Amino acid sequence: MSYRVTVIRSRRKTAAIQIAAPGEVTLRLPLRYPQSGIPALLESHRDWIEKHMRKLETQAAEEKALPPLSAEEIRRLAEEARTYIPGQVRYYAWKMNISYGRITIRNQRTRWGSCSSKGSLSFNCLLMLCPIEVIDYIIVHELCHRKEMNHSPRFWAEVAAVLPDYKQREKWLKQHGHAILARAARE
C-alpha cells in the first residue's frame, strides 16, 4: 500500500501518526527526531497505518454510495427531531435528576449534539437517521455534561450509570455516523 507522508515538526515530546485521508499519512514529530528514524517509525506502524487506510477507503465508498439529502428531506428530519427529541430529553433528565435549558435542533455538519455551560442543549436533526438507541445515547451524553463539562472518567461513569451499553451505541455512531453526516454536507 502506498501513501504520501507529510512531516510536521514541533516542540512535542513524542511522535504521532495520523491518517489525514486515504493515501495520506501525517507524522507529527519532535524537533530533534532524526530524519533517519522516519522509515523505521513507518515500518513499525505499517499494520496500523494500512488498517486505518482501508477503514478510510471504506468510509469514503459508503459516503459516495448514499444519496445526498435534499433541503426538503432535511426539513422533514428537523421536524421529526423537534417532535421526538424533547420528549426523550425530558424523560432522561427526569431519570437522571438533571435540569437543562433550551433545546435547539439544527442541521450540523460535524456534531451530533452539544451542551452549553448554561444548560442549553443542541441536537443534530440527522440523528433521526440513526437507530433510537443511538439517539438516546447522544441525549444522555449531552445531559451528562450538565454534571461534568468534560470527558473525564467521572463523566463516562455518569453515562454508564444510565446506559451500561453506551460503548456499543457509540461504536455504531463511529462506524456509520460519518456517512450520515456526509449526506447533508454535500453541496
125-183 per-position pLDDT tens digit: 999 999 999 999 999 999 999 999 999 999 999 999 999 999 999 999 988 898 888 88
Indicate whether 18 and 50 sit together in one domain. Answer: yes
What pLDDT was estimated at residue 187? Answer: 46
82-104 per-position pLDDT tens digit: 999 999 999 999 999 999 999 99
Using alpha carbons, list the distances in angstroms from residue 115 to 23, 88, 98, 104, 183.
35, 15, 13, 10, 24
- Residue that finishes a domain, picked among 18, 37, 65: 65
Indicate whether 75 and 160 sit together in one domain. Answer: yes
Indicate whether 125 and 170 sit together in one domain. Answer: yes
**Domain range enclosing 14:** 4-65
Q: Which residue has the cell 433545546?
A: 103
pTM of the model: 0.72
Q: Whose CA is closest to 145, among 103, 115, 104?
A: 115
The CATH number for 141's domain is 3.30.2010.10
Give the count of domains, the chain.
2
Indicate whether 60 and 75 sit together in one domain. Answer: no
Measured between alpha carbons, how far is 49 from 46 in angstroms, rounded to an integer?
5
Which DSSP string do the residues of 100-130 spell out, in sequence order?
---EEEE--SS-SEEE-TT--EEEEGGGGGS
Greatest alpha-carbon pair distance for the chain in Å reads 59
Q: Which residue has the cell 499519512?
A: 25
The DSSP secondary-structure symbol of 70 reads P
Query: Residue 11, SS3?
Result: coil
Indicate whether 58 and 107 sit together in one domain. Answer: no
Indicate whether 54 and 80 sit together in one domain. Answer: no
Indicate whether 117 and 174 sit together in one domain. Answer: yes
Indicate whether 61 and 82 sit together in one domain. Answer: no
Query: Residue 187, SS3?
Result: coil
